[in-house]
Amino acid sequence: MDKLLLIVPPYLTFDNYVNPAFNERTVVKKSGNYGSLVTDMPIGLLSLSAYVKHHARVDVKLIDFNIVLNKLDTFDYNSFSDFFSDFLSADEWIEYQPTIIGISTLFTTSYYNMLDLSNAARELFPNALIIAGGGIPTNMYTEIFRDSASFDALCYGEGEKPLSGLLGSADREGFLKAHPSWITREKVESGESFKHDFVQNLDEIPFYDYALLNPSEYQISPTMKNLPSLGEKKHLFHFATSRGCVHHCCYCASHTVHGRKMRYHGAGRVREDLRRLRDEFGAETIGFQDDNFMADRSRAFNIINIAKDLKITFFFQSGLALYALDREMLENIKSAGINELVLPVESGSNRVLNEIMHKPINLSIAKRVIDDCRELGIDTDAQLLIGLPGETKSDIEDARAFLKTLNASWIRIYVATPLVGSEMFDTCVKNNYLQGSHIGCDFKKAVVNTEHFTADYIEEKAYFLNLELNFVLNSDFRLGNYDKALKGFENAIRVKDDHAFAFYFAARCCRMLDLEDKYLAYKARYREIVEDSEFWKGYANQFQLGALE
């Protein structure tokens, strides 16, 4: 029987882990402060495991290095490479002796971690077949084979059918050569092209293999901390009901892995899977990771009704398409007990939305949805990007003016990132817009210089807008909802315990709410931070924060 070891690399580069930037969330260990790692359940690998177990005789184990690192009390390594070698040389894995090692790599922040893992695995398990899949192998196979000699093959797109076929083949070398979704060094050198091999009916994939995980280890997901209304919820599980996306957003590369045609689990299958998660695993909160949950409005409506029937809390991690959120849909969402929505507003400029992003919405829709949500008592987490090629400083100021009119509960301004496989990336390469390497950049680190702005300008502007919109002009504070505003500021404190603006405005809320002890504590902490930090002192002066009495 084959032994398949699936590995999720850390989602941060080593440098960003051991030296987090000023605008990054951090975690405290005995050995210092470190970057906070995303700990969403790797549902792609859970689907893969379920499918290959159904079609082949294989024993599967999983290592999620984001969980492994989060559990450590200290970190005393000089590189992730040393850490991976040490971890994989433990008796548990030497005795297991995997015959196949599969590394799942979604974004370039994991690129070098993937290479280091493959090298460690090749040294420790020289007879294993080492493969990789996900967005990076799909889009960067030439670079991977250039930078590493450890991989035997890479998977193009989704892996269920290619991997199950490989496991069932008596001639694996021949299968890799013949199958159009398996990328090998020889095929790349000969100029072959590659094709997806999708499971068209997603109901053919068995119930995800959640037994591979220890679910309790995923309850510290930073996603939950971003959404205060979910903060007290326990037993979080991630889930997806569809694959693919029909839209052509310039910054997205999801289509390179999942295609543009929508594929679905049937509503009956969704109900049964959710019931099993609730009854067998104790799930109370489900985080949907569909790229386009609202593609079929009636289906989405039906699934939300399933939530009501099963009495499970939902949240939609990738956001919900604004054009589908009419009043009826929002009322149904509210009736299902969903009290907070991530809204992909994407830009505060209609020109950027339509001419650059290719988004099928306009600002009036965003404003209407957010106003309806506030009337219905649904908190809104509006998310936007700045720094796309073709965008101008004037566009960003137009966006700023519009965003000041929104009554969203929270507004997150991210830096546009050139994901490999996206139209944005191709534009950046064609016009020589990339400042340094795109590998390792994320939605906080800007790497794009154009004729209209520099990367430094975009990075600083994004942080300025976050401070202005979420603290100085916080909508709940402005509207007199001091209890709600305080929860948001205290959530920011939990995420970053030296956030001077969070303490300042939390103190002001406490004064309005007659919470004198808290007020004095938050005021003292604000003063301490500003006195010790030129960074925060500069922003306090820039926004002319008044004295706390």
Q: How many CB atoms lie within 10 A of CB 212?
A: 17
How much is the average pLDDT of 250-264? 95
Looking at the predicted structure, is the pLDDT value of residue 229 above 60? no
pLDDT of 364 over the 60 cut = yes
Query: Can you give 293-332 as a three-state secondary structure string?
Result: HHHCHHHHHHHHHHHHHHCCEEEECCCCCHHHCCHHHHHH
Indicate the average pLDDT of the chain.
Answer: 94
Helices assigned H by DSSP within 421-499: 423-430, 455-467, 475-478, 482-495
C-alpha to C-alpha distance for 438 and 251, rounded to whole angstroms: 14
Q: What per-residue confidence (pLDDT) applies to 495?
A: 83
Return the residue matching tokens 């404190």.
Answer: 493
**Structural tokens at position 215:** 């679910």
Task: Report the sign of the C-alpha dihedral through residues 176, 182, 188, 190, in that order.
Answer: positive
3-state DSSP helix/strand/coil % of the chain, to nearest 5:
50, 15, 35
Structure tokens at 280: 């067998």
- Whether 127 has a pLDDT exceeding 60, the answer reads yes
Mean pLDDT over residues 323-334, rounded? 95
CA atoms of 235 and 522, how far apart (whole Å): 31
Residue range 328-344: mean pLDDT, rounded? 94
- Confirm if 71 and 217 have CB atoms less than 8 A apart: yes
**β partners of residue 381:** 342, 410
Residue 445 makes CB contacts below 8 A (sequence gap 6+) with 21, 415, 417, 459
Helix axes 43-55, 160-167, angle to 10 degrees: 40
Euclidean distance between CA atoms 544 and 156, whole angstroms: 53
pLDDT over threshold 80, residue 230:
no
The average pLDDT across 366-395 equals: 97
Strands 129-133 and 153-155 come out as: parallel
Calculate Rg over the CA atoms of the chain.
Answer: 24
pLDDT digits (tens, 9 = 90+) for 17-63: 999 887 777 888 888 888 889 889 999 999 999 999 999 999 999 99
Q: With 90 as the cut, is the pLDDT of residue 428 above it?
A: yes
Q: What is the pLDDT of residues 201-222, one digit of tens each?
A: 999 999 999 999 999 999 866 5
Mean pLDDT of 336-364: 93
d(CA 341, CA 348): 18
Interior angle at CA 46, CA 42 and CA 49, nearest 5: 140
- Contact between 317 and 227 under an 8 Å Cβ cutoff? The reply is no
- Torsion angle defined by CA atoms of residues 33, 471, 417 and 243, in that order, rounded to the nearest 10 degrees: 100
Residue type, 495: V
Fold for 2-189, please state it: Rossmann fold (3.40.50)
pLDDT at 231: 53
Separation CA 142–CA 191 (nearest Å): 10
208 with 269: CB under 8 angstroms? no
C-alpha distances in Å from residue 121, one per residue of 7, 14, 24, 283: 11, 18, 30, 34
CB 163 within 8 A of CB 48: yes
Phi and psi at residue 30, in whole multiples of 5°? -60, -30
Query: Which is nearest to 131 in space by CA: 105, 153, 159, 112?
Result: 153
- Sign of torsion, CA 494 498 504 507? positive
Percent of the chain with pLDDT over 70: 97
Q: How many Å apart are CA 109 and CA 14, to the nearest integer?
A: 9
pLDDT tier, 137 (very low <50, low <70, confident <90, very high otherwise): very high
Element at 400 (helix H, strand E)? helix 393-403
Q: Helices 482-495 and 500-512 sit at what angle, rounded to 10 degrees?
A: 150
Look at residue 223 and tell me whether its pLDDT is greater than 60.
no
347-360 pLDDT, tens digit per residue, is: 999 999 999 999 87
Beta bridge partners of 5: 61, 101
DSSP state of 127: T
292-323 pLDDT per residue, tens: 999 999 999 999 999 899 999 988 988 899 99
Please say if the pLDDT value at position 253 is more than 70.
Answer: yes
| Token pair recorded at residue 480 | 């007199």
Three-state secondary-structure class, residue 529: helix
Structure tokens at 406: 């929104």
Q: How far is CA 203 from CA 194, 272, 281, 293, in A?
A: 25, 11, 20, 16
Q: Is residue 232 pLDDT above 60, yes or no?
A: no
Alpha-carbon gap, residue 503 to 525, rounded angstroms: 7
- Average pLDDT rounded to a whole number, residues 388-392: 97
pLDDT at 36: 87
pLDDT score of 369: 97
Give the whole-angstrom CA distance, residue 67 versus residue 259: 29
516 φ/ψ angles, rounded to the nearest 5 degrees:
-65, -45
Q: How far apart are CA 315 and CA 289, in angstroms?
A: 9
Mean pLDDT of 467-493: 97
Query: What pLDDT band is residue 524 in, cutting at 50, 70 and 90?
Result: very high
Q: What pLDDT sits at residue 20?
A: 87
Give pLDDT, residue 153: 98
Q: Give CA separation, 435 vs 78, 146, 389, 417, 431, in Å.
A: 27, 22, 13, 12, 11
Among all chains, which residue has been given the structure tokens 């969403």?
40
> What is the separation, in whole angstroms, between the first and last Cα of the chain?
71
**214-410: which CATH topology?**
TIM Barrel (3.20.20)
Contact (Cβ atoms closer than 8 angstroms) between residue 152 and residue 131? yes
Residues in the chain: 549
pLDDT greater than 90 at residue 440? no
Q: Which residues fall within 8 angstroms of residue 71, CB to CB, at 6 or more apart?
A: 217
Would you give the DSSP letter of residue 471? I
Task: Report CA 164 to chain centroid distance, whole Å.
Answer: 27
